[in-house]
Every structure is written in C-alpha cells, then in structure tokens.
C-alpha cells in the first residue's frame, strides 16, 4: 500500500529504523550516517534514490547545526569542501556508467582503506600538506556522487590527528553538509531529483533529529579513547558490510 509520495509502508518503516540508528551514530562520532544509511535504504529503494535521499537528510540536519560547525571547524574543511563540490558530479556520472558489481567493489575498497588508515599512529595536530588535503577532497567528492558516502577519506584525515574532539566533529560535519549540497545539485543537474524524495526526507527528519540528539548526549559522556575506538568500530563495520554486500 502506498502511503507517502508513492512509497510503501514497508519502505517507510525500513527507512525510519535505519535513520534512527544511523543518526545516533552521527551524533556519537560525527560521521557514519551516510555510510550506514545508504546501504540499508538501498535494500528498500533504488540505489540512486537511496543516495539522493541520504544527501537530502544530511543537508537538512546539517543546516540545524551550521553556525556551530562554521565556528569550530578547521579551515581545511573549506578546502576539502570546495574540491568535493567539483568532484561530486564526476562521481555521480561515473555511477551511471558502471555496473552495480564494480560500484560495490570500489565502495568496499575505500571503506576498508579508511579503516586501515584509522589504525595508523596519530599524526600530531598540524594540517597535512596540500597534496594530501587535495586528494581527500577529490576522493570524498567522487564518493559523494558515486555512493552518497563522503566520509571514508575524510574521517581518517581528521580523527587520525591530535585534535580536540569538537574540532574533529565540526570539520567532518561541515564537509558533509557541503557534500550533501553538491550531491543534490548534481542530482538536479542530471534530472534524478524528484519532489517525492524531499517529501520522504521531511517525514524522516524528526527521527533523524531525535537519533542525533541521543548520540550527542552519549558522546558527551564518553572518554576520548572510547570515542576514538568507537570511530574505528564504525569504520570496521562499514568495511565488513561493504564486502559482505559485494560477496
């Protein structure tokens, strides 16, 4: 039975359950919503719609925090975000040209590489060089367009350094807000953004806000080592899930 904008009760139930869990992880770690949400949404929706819906939700929740993110983020977030805007349409176009199996392999490899990167010794607080920063921005943009997941290259860039947790989270989330905007603009340009997805996103938004608030409450009570370990576990889970879907 169709309930909202052509979506069935089962699709809505799956999306709401996924949204609650993914947004809780976002509030706790500062990332992970798209990494966790897109694969689950893709079980109930066409993959392209899942990516666009995830971008809409990321933008909506990000706009509720944007003042704080701009105030606390490292300046590198603006550099990375600018490159994300440039690279996102390329990733989305590449997705339209490749098979589902190839896309799953690329996503799995990048998720696994992010997990390996977070295991490396932490590097100090200094911002990496232009080449590394530029590569993170380009790959994040390609992943935004290709899979709606800008996080795998961005998370190790920030969480692998000796930075205050507030700076790490604000920097990552600011990049993700920019990435979501770029993803939606690219979807509009390619003619795959429909009003039904925005209606679906508005239905899911209260659940996203609740889950994010719960995650923030827990994040404020855990120590830095526990928080960093949680980041690693989320990345590991994303990598395992990506390879499992590939197999």
Predicted model pTM: 0.81
Of 122, 118, 120, 121, give the one whose Cα is nearest residue 229: 118
Is 163 in a helix, a strand, or coil?
coil
What per-residue confidence (pLDDT) applies to 137? Answer: 95
Question: What is the DSSP secondary structure assignment for residue 162, as one 8-state letter?
Answer: S
What per-residue confidence (pLDDT) applies to 1? Answer: 41
What per-residue confidence (pLDDT) applies to 4? Answer: 52
Q: Domain coordinates of the chain in residue numbers?
A: 2-246
How high does pLDDT run on average in the chain? 82
pLDDT tens readout for residues 111-143: 677 677 667 677 777 888 899 999 999 999 988
How long is the chain? 247
73 pLDDT more than 70: yes
> Which sign does the torsion angle of CA 233, 234, 237, 243 carry?
negative
What per-residue confidence (pLDDT) applies to 242? Answer: 65
Cβ–Cβ under 8 Å, residues 204 and 17: no
223 DSSP β-pair partners:
none
Q: CA 198, CA 23: separation in Å to the nearest integer? A: 18
Q: CA 34, CA 19: separation in Å to the nearest integer? A: 10
Of 169, 144, 124, give the one whose Cα is nearest residue 52: 144
Q: Where are the alpha helices (DSSP H) in 98-222?
A: 100-119, 130-147, 151-159, 165-189, 195-219
Q: What's the gap between Cα 36 and its chain centre?
A: 8
- DSSP codes of every residue in 24-83: HHHHHHS--HHHHHHHHHHHHS-HHHHHHHHHHHHHHHHHTTHHHHHHHS-THHHHHHHH
Cβ–Cβ under 8 Å, residues 187 and 55: yes
Q: What's the gap between Cα 170 and its chain centre?
A: 14
170 pLDDT more than 70: yes
Of 169, 203, 197, give the one whose Cα is nearest residue 183: 197
The better pLDDT of the pair 2, 220 is held by 220
pLDDT tens readout for residues 22-49: 888 888 888 778 777 877 777 677 777 7
Q: CA 45, CA 185: separation in Å to the nearest integer? A: 20
Question: What is the DSSP secondary structure assignment for residue 15, as one 8-state letter?
Answer: H
The better pLDDT of the pair 151, 208 is held by 208
Q: CA 73, CA 224: separation in Å to the nearest integer? A: 18
């Amino acid at each position: 039975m169709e309930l909202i904008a052509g979506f069935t009760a089962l699709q809505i139930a799956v999306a709401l359950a996924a949204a609650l869990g993914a947004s809780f992880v976002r509030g706790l770690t500062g990332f992970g919503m798209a990494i966790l949400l897109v694969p689950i949404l893709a079980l109930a929706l066409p993959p392209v719609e899942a990516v666009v819906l995830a971008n809409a939700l990321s933008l909506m929740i990000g706009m509720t925090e944007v003042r704080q993110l701009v105030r606390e983020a490292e300046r590198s977030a603006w550099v990375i975000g600018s490159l994300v805007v440039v690279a996102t349409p390329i990733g989305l176009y590449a997705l339209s040209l490749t098979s589902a199996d190839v896309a799953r392999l690329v996503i799995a490899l990048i998720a696994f590489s992010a997990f390996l990167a977070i295991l490396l010794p932490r590097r100090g607080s200094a911002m990496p060089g232009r080449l590394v920063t530029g590569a993170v921005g380009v790959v994040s943009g390609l992943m935004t367009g290709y899979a709606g997941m800008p996080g795998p290259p961005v998370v190790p860039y920030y969480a692998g350094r000796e930075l205050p947790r507030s700076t790490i989270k604000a920097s990552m989330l600011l990049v993700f807000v920019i990435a979501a905007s770029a993803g939606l603009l690219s979807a509009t340009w390619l003619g795959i953004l429909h009003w039904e997805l925005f209606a679906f996103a508005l239905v899911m938004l209260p659940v996203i806000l609740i889950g994010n608030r719960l995650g923030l409450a827990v994040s404020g009570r855990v120590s830095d080592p526990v928080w960093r370990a949680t980041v690693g576990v989320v990345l590991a889970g994303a990598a395992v899930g990506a390879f499992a879907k590939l197999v």
